[in-house]
Structure formats: C-alpha cells, structure tokens
C-alpha cells in the first residue's frame, strides 16, 4: 500500500475545486430568473473552468512531488466513536477523475451555453449542472465513504432534476422518477454495505479501512464477500449495469449535454470509481470480483445487441454507454483496475464527443431523434460529421484512436485471467465487433445517403469549439500515461499471445466493414434480414432491450401498483370513518331534538326535572 501522506501539502486551495461550482450554483439559484443570460453563462461555465484550472495546478503539484494530497476542513459529524470529516484525499485515481469531471465538464458547459440559449430555464439549467459538478467532485475527492455517499446521493439528485428538466412533459417526469428509483435500489444496498463495513471494521475513512481490511480479513471471508457484494449493488445501480440498467435509456429524456456529462462521461462511471477506490476490499473477495467480470460481460453484450436495432440516436448512444461501462466492469473484474480507469477516461472523451455531436445534429434538425429521418448530413454539418466519425472510430476501437488503447488493454488482460480468461476475452471481442457495427451504422445512416431532413441552422462556435477539443482528446487520449501505478495494481498483459492482439485489431475493422456492406454499400440488406419471421422476432426482442422493462413491470411495478390500489381504498380508514359516521348520525339525532319549539323544550325540561327528582328520591330513604 502506498500510504505516504502529508497534511495540507502545499495545495490549500483543494477545497476550492468543488466549492467554486457549488458557490456558482447557489448564486444561480438565488439569482433565479432575474439574471441575464450572459451573466448566468459566465457563472455557470466560468466556475467549472476555474475548477479545471485549479485541477491542472493540483496535478502539477502532485506530479512534481508524487505525494498524496490531503485536506481536512472540519469535522462533519461525530456520534459516539464514529466521526466523519469533511476531508479530501487526492491521489492519482482521484486526479484522473477530477480532470475528467472538470475538463470534460467545462467543455460541456461551454457547449450548453449555445445549446440551451433559447431555453426559458437557462439559469435553472446551469444551477443544476454546477451543483452536479460540485457533488461529483465531492464524490471522487471524499476521504471517507460517508462523504463519498453524500456526493453519490448529490449526483443522483442532480441526475433526477436534469432528466426531468423539461418537466412539463409527464413522460420526462416518469423517466426521471424511474432513474431515481432504480438507482435508489442500488443506493440502499450500498448504504447497507457501509453499515456493514463500519460495524465490522469501525471506520469509514477509506485508507485506514483498506489497511484494516487487509490485516483483519483473509481472502474469501464471507463478510468481505458480503460487504463487497453490497457495494457492488450500489455500483450496478449508479453505473446502469445488469440488472439495474433499465433507467439509463429512459434518462435520455434530459437535454443532450446532460446526457453527455452525467449519463456518459461522469456520473454513470461513479460505480467504476467506487470499485476502483475500494479495490483492496474487492481483492479480498475474489467471488465478487468474478461476479463483476461476468456482469460486465453480460451487460456489454446485451447492450450492444440492443444498440444495434434502436432508431433513436440518443438511445443508441445510451445503450452504447451501458455497453462501454460493461467493458470497464469487465476490466475491474479481471483485476485490471488501471485499464478500467483508462477506459473510463477515454470513454468520457469519445462518448461526450458523440453525445455533443448528436446534440448538434438534433439541435440543427428541429429536435429530430430518429436516425432514419436524418441522412446525408455529411456536407451540411461538417463539424458534427467529423466529430461523429472520430467519436465512432474511438468507440469502435479502431487502431490509433484512444478507445483502441484502452479497449485493447482490457481485452488482453481479460485473456490472462486464469480459467475463465478466454471466455471473457471472446465475449469482449464479440462485443467489440458489435460496437463497431452499431457505431458505424449510426455514422452511415445519419451522415451518408439521401438527405431526408434539411438542417435549419449550423452549430456556432460555442458548440463547435468543445467538439473540436474533444475530437483531439478522443484521438490523443490513448497516449496519456495515467499516474495510477501507486494507487492500484494492474494485471500485466504481456502473457497474451500475439494472435490475441491481432484479433483485437481485426474484429472492429470487420465490424466496420460489415456496417459498410449493410448500410452504405447495399450488398447486404438489413431490410431483407428483418423481414423474415425469425429476424422480426429477433429485432423486436432487442428493440425492447431484451424485455427487461416488461419483466420488471410484471415482477415489481404492477404488483406494487396493485397493492397501492388496494390500499388506496384505505381499509384502515374505514374503521376510523365508522366513528365519523357514528358522530354524524348522533348529530342528526340531536339536531332533530333541537326543533325550535318552545313547548317541546319545556316538556323535555320537565322530563329532566322528573328524572332528577326521581334520582334524589331514590337516594333519600
């Protein structure tokens, strides 16, 4: 373990990195609709830009000194022998995450300025976005798991708010609720995991926790497996992996830059970060680690198949995101933590690029989402075309792009896993082929062929600039040397034979070729394939995401609604209502007595007098 730490090592401004976007969010909330758009944009994008600059400074200090940076601000809460600080811990892993969040985040904020300019809730949008960046930074910089959980819930809340950003459409609200509830299932598991860790080891501070776990537990202990399984539950929910992946495609209801930032580049990778952060625990529980690998593999194949038949441009990208995060999980499960994080970073670049490119297309095409109503946009939207081409190439892991390096590292490492290695590798390779197929299907259908819808505008500089920067990053991102060696181990992949490596290069190219034949050259007609009965069933099956939504609907949603429907009639209230009816009834009776007739009153008074006298006479002998 690398544990050379120093309090407040030079960078006292560490706290400013999450504080700046938070402050800006508060200003935007307070300013509300009264703020002019330019000022709101300045605050919204500027704060994240400043944070990004600070991250660069922190990175320079870190790389120069090679020491973990720590900063404790104050004690957050103290109960009995438990205490949690507001404290930051920055090592290589954190730094990579911070760079991605602030760097890609800044580009997306810039892009949003143009994309959202005409929206009535411009200010609200940037308030949510800044709040999200602050929460995400808190998540990755947290020194203890409780603070991490705070950030974890914070990004969940922002995700909910931003998916339902256009809340006037009830469907968006439904999608937001679905995302919130499904991730909540995972969050509950994660919270239980935190409880278990605390009761077993007595602390939630990450580094002492890892050290304690290493000394207290033996590899494969039940408690280690249980704790990691619960943490994995949280990671699955947040990162949209099987079986909690159903929320992400619906989350595309939010604005496209939101999808780029939250549902592609940063938040959905929080699960990957969590596992990488607590990798010592996972290494103590090989069973869980293996489950991570298999779940990742299953998710990546399922999502790739689904992406192949979707028509909505954003849903294709959403399934592609699920699939790519599946690769990251596969890497984590194979013990290639550094490769997983590497893929996280490159994926952040090229998926943000693809989403922003898709956003540009959608923006310029009157909010058209269906790829078969686009087409021939190559010459009309050249910036979007170049972005898409580079993004798709990186996604498909074509040689020399960033995606190639990261995905190749994952596949090679998967091969070297004992016993199950070749299976993981084969699955991942199939997924790579599918990835190439669906990503170039997207490119060919949208940008080649006949023009179906004319774009009514062209992206301006605020949109084109970030796209071009991300293009460069998507290509060159593979050459970044991440300072992860001190943080976590990586399984060496030198053991893999050469033909494995060649296969990893060849299969994506084959996928691209197949896509060309099917969607551009016309030698293979997907229409004829889909016309056959088997093809139709096959397409329908994947069209609906392998029926997971329907399955959950039958298993959980409908029984729950039925139950709610029964309780809606409020059986318990009936008992209480009986009391109400009784008093109403006696009210009626007493009202009848109060008939306003003087003689009746006199008579009843006489009767009362009689009763009184009778009682007195009875009691006096």
Three-state secondary-structure class, residue 314: helix
Judged by beta carbon, residue 481 or residue 590, the one nearer other proteins is 590
CB of 585 to other proteins, least distance (A): 14
CB of residue 565 to other proteins, shortest distance in Å: 41
CB of 178 to other proteins, least distance (A): 55
Smallest gap from Cβ 561 to other proteins, in A, equals: 46
Question: Any idea what the Cα angle at residue 89 is, between residues 83 and 95, rounded to 5°?
Answer: 155
CB of 187 to other proteins, least distance (A): 58
**3 vs 593, beta carbon nearer other proteins:** 593
CB of 583 to other proteins, least distance (A): 15
**Cα dihedral 279, 280, 284, 288 in deg (nearest 10):** -10
Nearer to other proteins, 523 or 591 (CB): 591
Q: Is 258 exposed, middle or buried (0-12, 13-18, 19+ CB in 10 A)?
A: buried
Measure the CA–CA gap between 272 and 337, rounded to whole angstroms: 9
Site for other proteins, rule CB under 8 A: 590-599, 602-603, 606-607, 609-610, 613-614, 616-617
Closest CB to other proteins among residues 485, 613: 613
- Name the maximum alpha-carbon separation found in the chain: 120
Which residue, 527 or 596, has its beta carbon nearer to other proteins? 596
Q: How far is the CB of 574 from other proteins (least distance, A)?
A: 28
CB of 581 to other proteins, least distance (A): 19
Of 555 and 606, nearer to other proteins (C-beta) is 606
Q: What is the DSSP-derived secondary structure letter of residue 121?
A: T
**Residue 356's closest CA among 118, 364, 375, 438?**
364
Q: How many CA atoms are closer than 13 Å to the CA of 220, on its beta-carbon side?
A: 0
**Least distance to other proteins from the beta carbon of 602, Å?**
5
Please return the burial class of 513, using the count of CB atoms within 10 Å of its CB with bins 0-12, 13-18 and 19+.
middle
Rounded to the nearest 10 degrees, how much is the dihedral formed by the CA atoms of 338, 343, 346, 350? -170
Our CB check for other proteins shows the closer of 485 and 614 to be 614
Residue 524 vs 605, nearer CB to other proteins: 605
- The 3-state secondary structure of 552-610, one letter per residue: HHHHHHHHHHHHHHHHHCCHHHHHHHHHHHHHHHHHHHHHHHCCCCHHHHHHHHHHHHH
* Alpha-carbon gap, residue 115 to 459, rounded angstroms: 9
Choose between 13 and 614: whose C-beta lies nearer to other proteins: 614
**Shorter beta-carbon distance to other proteins: residue 564 or 598:** 598
Residue 575 or 617 with smaller CB distance to other proteins: 617
Q: Which residue has the tokens 């798991």?
A: 145
According to DSSP, the β-strands at 5-7 and 68-79 are parallel
Q: Which is nearer to other proteins, 13 or 609 (CB)?
A: 609
Q: How far apart are CA 71 and CA 58, in angstroms?
A: 12
Cα distance between residue 483 and residue 2, in whole Å: 13
Q: How many CB atoms lie within 10 A of CB 604?
A: 11
Residue closer to other proteins by CB (options 562, 583) is 583
Secondary structure (DSSP) of 322-334: HHHHHHHHHHHHT
CA distance 330 to 300: 9
Residue with token string 């919204």: 44
CB 586, min distance to other proteins, A: 12
Radius of gyration over every alpha carbon of the chain, rounded to an integer in angstroms: 30
CB of residue 582 to other proteins, shortest distance in Å:
18
Compute the distance between CA of residue 386 and CA of residue 353 in angstroms, rounded to an integer: 10
Strand order in the sheet with 82-90: 5-7, 68-79, 82-90
Residue placing its CB nearer to other proteins in the complex, 419 or 619:
619
The least distance separating other proteins from the CB of residue 36, rounded to whole angstroms, comes to 60
State the nearest-atom distance from the C-beta of 620 to other proteins, in Å.
8
In angstroms, give the least distance from the CB of 611 to other proteins. 10
Q: Between 382-395 and 461-476, two packed helices, what is the crossing angle to 10 degrees?
A: 30
Q: Parallel, antiparallel, or unpaired: how do β-strands 82-90 and 5-7 relate? A: unpaired
């Amino acid at each position: 373990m690398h544990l050379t730490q120093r309090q407040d090592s030079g960078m006292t401004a560490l706290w400013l990195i999450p504080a700046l976007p938070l402050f800006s969010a508060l200003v935007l909330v307070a300013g509300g609709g009264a703020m002019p758009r330019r000022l709101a944009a300045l605050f919204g994008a500027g704060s994240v830009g400043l944070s990004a600059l600070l991250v660069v400074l922190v990175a320079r200090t870190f790389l120069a000194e090679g020491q973990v940076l720590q900063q404790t601000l104050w004690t957050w809460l103290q109960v009995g022998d438990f205490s949690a600080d507001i404290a930051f811990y920055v090592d290589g892993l954190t730094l990579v995450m911070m760079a991605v969040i602030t760097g890609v985040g800044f580009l997306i904020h810039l892009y949003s300025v143009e994309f959202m300019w005409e929206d009535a809730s411009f200010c609200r949008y940037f308030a949510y976005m800044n709040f999200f960046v602050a929460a995400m930074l808190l998540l990755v910089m947290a020194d203890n798991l409780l603070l991490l959980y705070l950030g974890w819930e914070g990004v969940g809340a922002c995700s909910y708010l931003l998916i339902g950003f256009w809340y006037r459409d009830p469907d968006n609200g439904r999608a937001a609720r679905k995302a919130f509830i499904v991730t909540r299932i995972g969050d509950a598991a994660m919270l239980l995991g935190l409880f278990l860790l605390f009761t077993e080891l007595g602390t939630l501070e990450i580094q002492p926790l890892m050290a304690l776990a290493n000394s207290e537990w033996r590899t494969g202990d039940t408690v280690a497996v249980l704790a990691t399984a619960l943490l994995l539950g949280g990671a699955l929910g947040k990162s949209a992996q099987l079986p909690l992946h159903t929320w992400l495609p619906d989350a595309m209801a939010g604005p496209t830059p939101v999808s780029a930032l939250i549902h592609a580049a940063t938040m959905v990778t929080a699960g990957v970060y969590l596992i990488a952060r607590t990798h010592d625990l996972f290494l103590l529980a090989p069973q869980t680690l293996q489950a991570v690998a298999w779940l990742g593999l299953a998710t990546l194949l399922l999502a790739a198949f689904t992406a192949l038949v979707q028509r909505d441009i954003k849903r294709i990208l959403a399934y592609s995101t699920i699939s790519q995060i599946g690769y990251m999980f596969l890497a984590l499960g194979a013990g290639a933590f550094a490769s997983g994080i590497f893929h996280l970073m490159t994926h952040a670049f090229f998926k943000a690029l693809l989403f922003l490119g898709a956003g540009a297309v959608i923006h310029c095409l009157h909010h058209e989402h269906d790829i078969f109503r686009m087409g021939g946009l190559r010459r009309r939207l050249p910036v979007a075309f170049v972005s898409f081409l580079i993004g798709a190439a990186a996604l498909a892991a074509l040689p020399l792009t960033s995606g190639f390096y990261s995905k190749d590292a994952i596949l090679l490492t998967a091969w070297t896993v004992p016993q199950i290695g070749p299976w993981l590798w084969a699955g991942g390779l199939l997924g790579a082929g599918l990835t190439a197929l669906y990503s170039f299907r997207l490119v060919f259908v949208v940008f080649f062929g006949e023009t179906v819808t004319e774009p009514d505008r062209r992206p301006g500089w605020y949109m084109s600039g970030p796209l071009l920067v991300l293009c460069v990053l998507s290509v060159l991102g593979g050459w970044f040397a991440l300072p992860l060696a001190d943080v976590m181990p990586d399984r060496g992949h030198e053991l893999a034979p050469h033909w494995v490596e060649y296969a990893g290069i060849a299969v994506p190219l084959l996928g691209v070729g197949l896509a060309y034949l099917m969607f551009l050259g016309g030698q293979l007609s997907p229409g004829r394939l889909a016309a056959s009965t088997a093809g139709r069933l096959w397409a329908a099956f994947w069209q609906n995401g392998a029926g997971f939504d329907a399955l959950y609907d039958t298993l959980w949603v409908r029984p729950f609604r039925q139950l709610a429907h029964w309780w809606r009639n409020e059986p318990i209230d009936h008992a209480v209502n009986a009391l109400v009816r009784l008093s109403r009834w006696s009210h009626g009776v007493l009202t009848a007595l109060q008939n306003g007739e003087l003689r009746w009153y006199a008579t009843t008074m006489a009767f009362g007098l009689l009763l009184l006298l009778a009682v007195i006479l009875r009691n006096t002998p």
